[in-house]
Structures are given as C-alpha cells and as structure tokens.
Amino acid sequence: MSSVRRIEAGPPKKILWRGLLLYFLALPLVPATVVALAHGEIKAALANSLALALTFIGATFIRKGIGLQAQAAKRAWKRRASPTPYRMIGSVMVAVGMFFVAWLGITSNGGHGLISSVLFAAATLLGCYLYYDFDASARQSDVPLVGITTEELIDLLDEAEDRIEAIERAGKSIKNVEFRDRLRRIAAEARKITAAIEEDPTDARRARKFLKVYLDGAQQVTEGYARMHTTDNNEQLEDNFRRVLTTIETVIAEQQQKLKENNASELDVQIEVLQMQLEKEGVV
C-alpha cells in the first residue's frame, strides 16, 4: 500500500480567462501616462508607467501559476504545482503597482497620502488572494513512494504521456492502414500501463526503465519510419517496421504481465533486445 495520499479530481476548470481582467484594469494607465507627460508631470508619468509594467508582469505570473495548478490537478496524486509561488509573487507585484498609482496619483496633484496608498495596496493584495489564491498546493510537502517521490512519479507519467502522444502523431502521418491501427493499439495499451502505475505507484520504480527507455525507443522508431516512408517507400522498410511493431506489442504485453507478477528482470532483457533490433532494422 502506497503512502501517497490520493485526492479526488474535480471537474476541469476553464482557465483561459482567469487573470486576464488584470490586463484590462491596467489599460487606463496608458492614456494616464500620456496625459501626465503632456502636462509635464514626470513623476506621475513614471509612477503610472511603473504601475502598468508591474500589473502586466504580475498578471502574467498569476496566470502562469493558475496554469501550473491546473496541470498539477490532472493527475490523481497530489503534487506541488511549482516550487515557485507564481500567484503570490504576481499578486504582490500588482499590489505594489497600485501603491504607486495611489500614492503619486494619475497626476501628481491627485495623489493620496502614504497611509491611504498602503491601504489601497493591501486591499489589492487581499482581493488577489481571495480571487486567485496563493499557490496553496505549493505548501504541501512531497510524500515519498517506494524509491520514488510524488514529484518524480508525476514527471515520469507526464513524460510517458508525451511519448505516447508523439507516437500517435507520427502514426497519423503514416498511410499504411495496418501500421496506423497497430500504433493506435500500442498507444492504448501503453496508456493502460501508465494508468496501472498511477493506480498503484509502488510499481513506478520498477517500470521506470520501461517508461523512459522503452517508450522513447518506440517513439524514435515510429517517427523515424514516418519520416523515411515519405521519401523511401519500399517493401523492405515496411517489413522491418512491421517486425519492430511486433516486438513493441510483445514487450508491452510482457510489461503488463510482469507488473502483475511483480517481476521486472525479464523485462529489462526485452528492452535491451528492442534497442538492438531498432539499430539492426535501420528504421530510425
């Protein structure tokens, strides 16, 4: 039994528009800066432009934090969204920008006192916290698995998913219907393995070589064939690729069986055989 604490994944949240409001709220500072310059209010123009820059950069940081949080929520295991508290940093930058606007004003004649300006900044910071939060998941500590941490587990699964998606993309560019169908099945079976590992992360350490080395080899051979097939359409190349696909399918089936049997020794041998075959068949 893994010591990792599982969380229920809620419905996906739309993050496209979250944080964009800050950009629009800062836009009035553009004409305000121009007007201040036209009236010779250099101090006010500098304050407005500084506030504009801080707000834009802060909004970018906040949106980055929101995006990382959404990515972290995709997996069933709790992880830190990022070691960098982007939303907190962004919120502080926006609050500082609002402090300069309030203190020096849109023009120097319309500024507030120092205490009032600090209160404006504090209110802005509180509003950002209430609406965007401050990267709460970043405060969660890593929970170790058997020989692998939660962060490493999710990075491993994310890398595996990237390789599977690359195999699918390359497969779509191959005209041979047989190969396309086999590659779709390979991708589906590979995802079953990653799903099984996510369900029981105690298998992650033993399956690491499969997820990294083997899927990387499968990706390379598929992309290599997809490139060469467009310029060199011959039966020998197809026969070579067909044999490699058979090996890939066999190793995936064996990996699934070995995970059930808690035996990874023979799988390592099969991975080495695959690497040798990739070089021998000349399709990468």
Tell me: the pLDDT tens digits for 200-232?
Answer: 777 676 677 778 777 888 888 888 888 877 655
Examine the domain organization and report whether 132 and 187 are in the same domain.
no
Q: How far is CA 137 from the centre of its chain?
A: 15
Examine the domain organization and report whether 241 and 271 are in the same domain.
yes
Examine the domain organization and report whether 74 and 170 are in the same domain.
no
What's this model's pTM, rounded to 2 decimal places? 0.54
Token match 């907190």: residue?
88
Last residue of a domain, which of 112, 139, 166?
A: 139
Residue 179: domain span: 150-281
pLDDT higher than threshold 90 for residue 164? yes
Instruction: Flag whether 100 is in a domain.
Output: yes
pLDDT higher than threshold 50 for residue 16? yes
pLDDT for res 167: 93
Token match 């899927």: residue?
215
Give the number of domains in the chain: 2
The pLDDT-based confidence of 5 (bands split at 50, 70, 90) is very low
Burial class from Cβ neighbours inside 10 Å (0-12, 13-18, 19+) for residue 128 reads buried
The pLDDT-based confidence of 57 (bands split at 50, 70, 90) is very high
Instruction: Flag whether 47 is in a domain.
Output: yes
What residue ranges in 166-246 does DSSP mark as E strands? none
Instruction: Flag whether 73 is in a domain.
Output: yes
Burial class from Cβ neighbours inside 10 Å (0-12, 13-18, 19+) for residue 195 reads exposed
Average pLDDT, the chain: 76
pLDDT tens sequence across 97-156: 889 888 876 655 556 778 888 898 899 899 888 888 776 554 444 445 556 677 777 788
